[in-house]
Structure 1
Amino acid sequence: MQLETLRCKVVPRRIQLKHTKGWRMPSDTRKVDGSTIFGNPFQVCGRPRDEAVEMFREWLAGADYGPVMVSPILTQRLEAKRQWILGALPYLRGKHLACWCPLPDHGHPDLCHASVLIELANKRVAGGRHQKVMSCATMDVDEELELVNRRLAEAQARVDEQRRRAMRLRRDPPAERICREALRQFEVSLQLLRERRAYLLKRGKSSDGRQPPPE
């Protein structure tokens, strides 16, 4: 699939986190290291860094890495994490992303999962043929609102289904606990999307005086 990058004033980039005294994370930056839900579950330890990053990319695209995790419980958690990340991508749009991985030398690929998140969070499908890597600076309010509404509907469907699943597992406490853990992640994703939608509706109303559509 062909990629087209549009020129924009601010291009999201990858930031390397540091322990240096006095260092502060730049503004408009989201932390996506292993301490957050956005962390790469395929740790670099024990495998080449490029392999770990490629596994992360393929996993978000739908690859089944259940056998890698061995345990069915871990496999279920992995799927819940994937759905959460995909639902929360609008939260990362237009932001710099920070991780501990070393920055690449000039001309070399960035072997960090954060670079994958930057690409996916700032990408849209146009005309069904090409994908355009964009920042919020180039996507107008109506376009982003349409995308967020679609993601919101998908997230709500996941939350509803997970709630029904948790009810069915009430007689199996360990399974119910895992299910409700995934449910909390889905609910956080849903809340992030709702906040983004509210912001876009307010922004659209202030720019042209239109009344926002009903919830």
Structure 2
Amino acid sequence: MTIPTRIQRRRTKGWRLPENAVIVSRPSRWGNPCKVNTMQEMGYEDPHAAAAENFRIWLAGSRSDAPTDEADQRRERILSELHLLRGKDLACTCPLDRTCHADELLRQANTPTAELTAWIAVVRARVDRQRLARGEKPLHPTP
């Protein structure tokens, strides 16, 4: 079995998505809600790396930059379907020599199942604690 990798999605005539690959660029369900342009406007020296790091932190349950129901639901959708990316190559428009959120998706999706399940439980608990601290209903209330 080959190790899943990130590939650069092309929009040129004749380019086709390779077999066993999933598009994870911005407009997809897996897209990074943090825009590279925003990071550039904020003055980051490496806006690609900043956007990828922001995605990693957000996916791990931080609500500091996006404390909204919409952002929480988007994160939850990604977490609940992350297993679908296991073993797949991921295609994004980011250049391969730049850091990309797909790197984090690859890392998490290919984590052993038990570890991934435990990590997702921790993320969900983290999000719910933050929601409760803001007087919001948790997404995953404990029985």
TM-score (norm 2): 0.71
Runs of 4+ in structure 1 deviating by more than 2 angstroms, as ranges, are none
TM-score (norm 1): 0.48
Q: Which residue does the alignment assign to 2:99? A: 111
Q: Which residue does the alignment assign to 1:76? A: 69
Q: Which residue does the alignment assign to 1:50? A: 49
Tell me whether 1:11 sits opposite 2:3 in the alignment.
yes
Q: Which residue does the alignment assign to 1:63? A: 62
Tell me whether 1:95 sits opposite 2:88 in the alignment.
yes
Q: Which has the larger radius of gyration?
A: 1
Deviations 1:35-66 (A, max 9, x none): 1111000111121111110010011111123x
CA distance in 2, matches of 1:122, 1:84: 17
Root-mean-square deviation over aligned CA pairs: 2.2
CA distance in 2, matches of 1:17, 1:125: 28
Tell me whether 1:21 sits opposite 2:21 in the alignment.
no
Task: Please show how residues 32-43 of structure 1 align to structure 2 within 5 Å.
Answer: 32-43=24-35
Q: Percentage identity across aligned positions?
A: 42
CA distance in 2, matches of 1:25, 1:35: 16
CA distance in 2, matches of 1:46, 1:61: 21
Instruction: Give ranges in structure 2 of 5+ residues lacking alignment.
Output: 40-46, 122-143
SS at match of 1:22: coil
Q: Which has the higher helix share?
A: 1
Deviations 1:162-190 (A, max 9, x none): xxxxxxxxxxxxxxxxxxxxxxxxxxxxx
Q: How many residues align?
A: 112
Q: Which residue does the alignment assign to 2:108? A: 120
SS at match of 2:19: coil
Deviations 1:76-128 (A, max 9, x none): 10000001100001110000000100111xxxxx51111110000000277xx
Q: CA, structure 1 residues 64+30, in 2 after alignment: closer, same or farther (shift >3 Å)?
A: same
Instruction: Give ranges in structure 1 of 5+ residues lacking alignment.
Output: 1-8, 105-109, 133-146, 155-215
